Amino acid sequence: MKQAKKNLLGTATPQMRVVALAIRKAQCSGRKTRCREVVRDLPAESTVGFVNARHLDEAIALADSMDDRRDSKKNRHINWRARAFYGPNWNMMEGAAGKLRHERVLLAEQLNFPIRDRLTYRREQLALPAARWVMKHGAPGGTHFVVRIAEVASYEVRTEKNWVRVNRGKDHWASLSDTHFIDLLPTWTATVRRLGMATVADRWFILDATMFVETPGRSVWEARVTRTGRGYQAVVERVWLSFYGKAVTVHTSLHAALNAKPPVLQVEIERPLPDEDDAALSALAFA
């Protein structure tokens, strides 16, 4: 039997309608304290006769029923397999097409960048993933990375107590937040591109590098790098890098870098097959 349409606001008083619409707009139906604040902020003439102790629960229930009715009407003619997944920007039935659209949007954003800001954007694209990979981050109060241009390359991590993120008054301590300040030279992007890497052995983040000597098949660089210390601290060091093609070794002194031997390559040695394996292969070939 077909159910008759129900007007949710038809039986409510004008004051109840105003309060329910305000609660629904603020999306606070699950928090009574916030609902009371919303009612308190409404004009007094629109809430005449509305008492929180008597009518607030009814207004919250009315706001929830309005949301349920809207969701059911929105997805009334859509199969559940084709409904959008409201989390990441991704649809269950449009995986490849959605990914292609996302890539086009990213390309359009890059092309819309002013010419003077493209180098800054490119520098952040290279520095931020490398810094996140090497340095410890992710404090409960939040993590922020700031990439700046400076005359001297450095890396600084500041931790502070964030009292704003206290758990709605239930906790009596603050959350720790970490902010990473990355100071790079204007030529850092070209240096990293010439080196072919922004990190060394997934342990050091390259802040600056200067070539010391280059020979056929080998080059030695003086580099300023940073690594994770105690806690969220950053330790800035000066090391020497010996490049043998794509392989690299790290040394603490120039003497060790110049006298270092090339890294041993892991080459798989082809060993001859035993006699029984040769016989088995011959039997399979002539079977």
Which residue has better confidence, 263 or 207?
207
Is the pLDDT score of 200 beyond 70? yes
Question: Token pair 């098949």 is at which residue?
Answer: 217
| Calpha distance 2→14 (Å, rounded) | 30
What average pLDDT does range 8-28 have in this prediction?
Answer: 79
Sequence ranges of the domains in the chain: 14-74, 118-258
When the pLDDT of each residue in the chain is averaged and rounded to a whole number, the result is: 80
pLDDT at 154: 96
Per-residue pLDDT tens digits for 45-78: 888 788 887 888 888 888 887 766 555 554 544 4
Is the pLDDT score of 84 beyond 70? no
Strand-pair partners of 210 = 222
> What angle separates helix 32-41 from helix 52-74, to the nearest 10 degrees?
100
pLDDT at 180: 96
pLDDT band at 97 (very low <50, low <70, confident <90, very high): confident
Is the pLDDT score of 89 beyond 50? no
pLDDT at 273: 56
What average pLDDT does range 78-82 have in this prediction?
Answer: 46
pLDDT at 278: 60
Question: Under 8 Å CB-to-CB from 153, ≥6 apart: which residues?
Answer: 183, 184, 185, 188, 207, 208, 224
Is the pLDDT score of 90 beyond 70? no
Which residue has better confidence, 236 or 216?
236
pLDDT at 57: 85
pLDDT at 78: 47
Which residue has better confidence, 128 or 24?
128
Question: Which among 166, 112, 172, 122 has a CA at the least distance from the CA of 147?
Answer: 122
pLDDT band at 80 (very low <50, low <70, confident <90, very high): very low
Segments of 122-279 assigned E as strands: 143-149, 154-162, 175-184, 199-200, 204-215, 218-228, 234-244, 247-251
Per-residue pLDDT tens digits for 182-198: 999 999 999 999 999 99
Which residue has better confidence, 262 or 235?
235
Question: Under 8 Å CB-to-CB from 181, ≥6 apart: which residues?
Answer: 146, 148, 154, 155, 156, 157, 158
* Among 36-45, 96-105, 114-123, 208-217, the least confident range: 96-105
Share of the chain above pLDDT 90, in %: 34
Per-residue pLDDT tens digits for 209-225: 999 999 888 899 999 99
Which residue has better confidence, 263 or 256?
256
